[in-house]
Structure 1
Amino acid sequence: VALIGPQASRNAIPVAQVAENARIPMISPWSTNPDTTAGRQYVFRVAFIDPFQGQVMARFSFEEVDATKAAVLYDVASSYNKGIAEIYKQVFEAAGGEVVAFESYTTGETDFTKQLAKIKNSGAQVLFLPNYENEVPLQAEQARQIGLDIPLIGSDSWGTIAPEDRTQLEGAYFSTHYATDIADEPARTFIENYTTKYGHTPDDVAALTYDAFGLLFEAIQSQGLAEPEAIRTGLAGIESFLGVTGSMKYSGSGDPIKSAVVLRVVDGKFVFYKLATP
């Protein structure tokens, strides 16, 4: 009667079209690319969208890091990475900054030294890496190896980077969906129960997935029916839902109106730094 997932945008976008054609409600917990929900009546998400977090981190680079020259390294073959990179560039330049290096690679590459050398020679004061958890630690390590010692900025995909892979990210900032160290009562209860069950703190994907099921149950309860049309109507009509990743509502689309948080890597831990509102 409904579908939870997929998580990553590269998978969620094609599946969303299938769900829409079949008129089956779909809730993607983690997908942030606008194309997942664009023009669709049966597809929803829990996460904020890429244009929002791209704007947040571009402004953060300009206003908080005080950078006037930025560089970006991104996977051109991934809709997630490419989309955020382009928005970041647009907003950073609109704020008065200059993107002096806009370097790309293709999924599966592991040697980024050529692109990083160009970034080093560009005079960039900050490096934006809107890439996945299996890529960012290696990119950061190679950057430091060639002497590129500028602040690193990231996106919500960083939230699943394992503690043992965060050494080269010390002091870096990234946008994400919730912070365990400022959790309210619903979030604290979820974190405690999850940690007891699985032996580690839940990352943002786990939290967003929990909220996706919460939204589904809310929609079913509001309509009194566990049927596709009723669920879609219920989801579209949610005006206020307090989940573990914060308060959210839907207004005319499958994209929630909600805040983001900026975290900093401190001693290998993700620590709350700042709240970013729509």
Structure 2
Amino acid sequence: MDFIEVKVQCHPEYTDFLIAELGEIEFNSFVENEEGFDAYIEEALFSEEALKEVFGRYAEAKVQYTFALQPKVNWNEEWEKNYDPIDVDGQCYIRATFHAPRPEFPLEIVIVPKMSFGTGHHQTTWQMVKHQMAINHQGKRVLDVGCGTAILALVAAKLGASYVEGFDIDQWSVENSLENAALNGFNQLVVKQGTIAEVKPQGPFDIILANINRNVLLAEIPIYTELIGAGGQLLLSGFYEQDIADIQQKAESCGLTLQNSSTRDKWAALVFQKA
């Protein structure tokens, strides 16, 4: 499979925003550097017009870019150079297989990274895990929406959840989630491929985790609410601080109550509870 490599130079404050935006137009791997980042997309999915449209919305980022066909990309080499472990307040350590263990952490998750998300991914993951660590998972049924590498699902399992299910639209996510589950000694993880409408998860769930993006969350919060049992909790991230009001309004219109919130480097996370 051939890829288009887009080399982006931009103001450093906008790197995470641009990576998130490109993720919405089918770019699926990113490698950050001192000048900005490199973004990769399958050749058949590439559209320079879509790229220009995204960059045009961020004139203040002073974006410059070039692109070229890359028949062969050594993904493993790039991941190992650029995937950093995540330390969540000294309580949870999320590392790749090529990082050394840290036995001093109460909770450790080991993954084989199949995609580099940029530091924005770390900020949202960090907040979601921090909120998870404050919630009782013992004996709970948990759903991880858009599970990706299944980090949140595995945190739930290690916190004592009795049933954990995840799903994602990408086949690589399903395969990687199962691989990571085995690495962490949790072969009971249920992983499905498709949208929430296609996989039809069967509630009620005590905890739903959704680290996706603003538009998907706004469209699906009503569905999550139906799947949550009484007293259950919904943890959301993957959006910016300026999106908090819209997310909160949608959740409260569905009968959910805001319990907790956080922001980190302009990224936000919210915790809601169903009455």
TM-score of the superposed pair, with normalisation by structure 2: 0.37
* Greater helix content: 1
The structure that is strand-richer by fraction is 2
Name the TM-score, length of structure 1 as normaliser.
0.37
